[in-house]
Chain A
Amino acid sequence: MSTVVFLEHHEGELLKGALGVLAKAAALGDDSVAGFIAGADVEELAAEAGKYGAQVVYVADDPRLAAPLPQPRVDVLASLVRDEGFDTVLFGASVLAADVAGGLAARLEAGLNWDLVDLERRDGELVGKRPALGDSVYVDVGWRDGPRIALFRPGSFEPEAGGGEPSVERVEARIEDFSLAATMVEQAHEERTGPSIEDADVIVAGGRGLGAPEGFAIVEELAKALGGAVAATRAVVDAGWYPYASQVGQTGKTVAPKLYVAAGISGAIQHKVGMQSSNVIVAINKDRNAPIFEYSDLGVVGDVHEIVPKLTELVRERRGS
């Protein structure tokens, strides 16, 4: 069996989600685990991929791949999979990765299973695990034959450093005309400090219970003290209190950090599906009957405006900062 992992990158760094998938692929004990990097001036990322377990890194370095758009990547990856005979192609989910995986499935007439949280080998066959129907049931999914394509939910696997120097293979980018029809006019970036919510080990999330947009200041302070990222519910994003990129839930991101602190979040099902696979959940809410208390490890009934700043202070003391 031979696996290639789509290694997405942003501003000169490989994404943690993709590196986690690379670690998973290596742990499955494949004959060889390869990474695929597409972009412009990206060759130096290959060494980084090696550190995280890629034995071979295929690099498509081409100015036409500079913008993070899916269709040219489908062309190059489809040729690579065919030419090298890969039977498994794995992706850490993202806006870009989902579009590449979907296009690749059609191009190769290959099976795509999405939203997986795990992958294992059972009697020689790969079996994926997919939470479904609001994570109320876990479905074992498989593939008829190769190539098998999978998209993993963010936070499913931890990256593991400890690899070596990879062998780097340059890939020629043969791109179809229709794949170049969509063009990037402006690649914008929201101002952000600290890790993104996909990459963070700790997430502090705020909801309506913060009372006002200014209420997010206490959430930001706590996130900073814990070295984490800030997330928000759909209600407050819709209300314009916080940017969409931070939205967790059914219409936002699905995250699974080591610690999720929910401040002033009632935890309706739409939010729950985006964060319930977090390792440890701590919730603070003034309503004793808030649904979030049903699936938190520690629930605190109280006022976020009193508890969160105090907690921030204690965390700072404890961490000596």
Chain B
Amino acid sequence: MKRGATVYLYELAWILPSIAIPVGMLSALLVTAFGAGIHVPSTAGRVDPARLAETAPFDQPGVVQTGPLSYEVRLVSQVWSFTPNEIRVPVGSRVTFIGTSRDVIHGLFIPSANVNVMLIPGQISRVVARFDREGEFFFACHEYCGIAHHTMGGKVIVEPRS
């Protein structure tokens, strides 16, 4: 009986922190998601990948200014390139990426801005990023998309404000 009780206490002494640790980490996560507003990609609609040439905004891929220090990048990916593959914005810009894929699954990964989103044929991806440092930053397709996957990339050039 005494030994059984000891085992039980040990079990309890472990179970409580085992619950507290995940709950604590989850709380931290909720704070960053809703307090600091670090969101992940969500639903943004569908598009027919065979009709991108006739469907706005993918009929005119490129960088569009939508306000003071506010830009929209309309991004089309295909084997094995991004259109556009060079993006120029002034430092301090808030950039909305609206992207999709013309063929297989690709990914848009800009490590310097924590942009990490899949580009899936049939789906529209939408993410927002800020570029607060001047310089040239690479981006890459980070989903295997065929034999020349490693050649698929581009760069963001963050320029001084004119």
Q: Do A and B come from one complex?
A: no
Which A residues have a C-beta under 8 Å from some C-beta of B? Answer: none
Q: Which residues of B are interface residues toward A (Cβ below 8 A)?
A: none
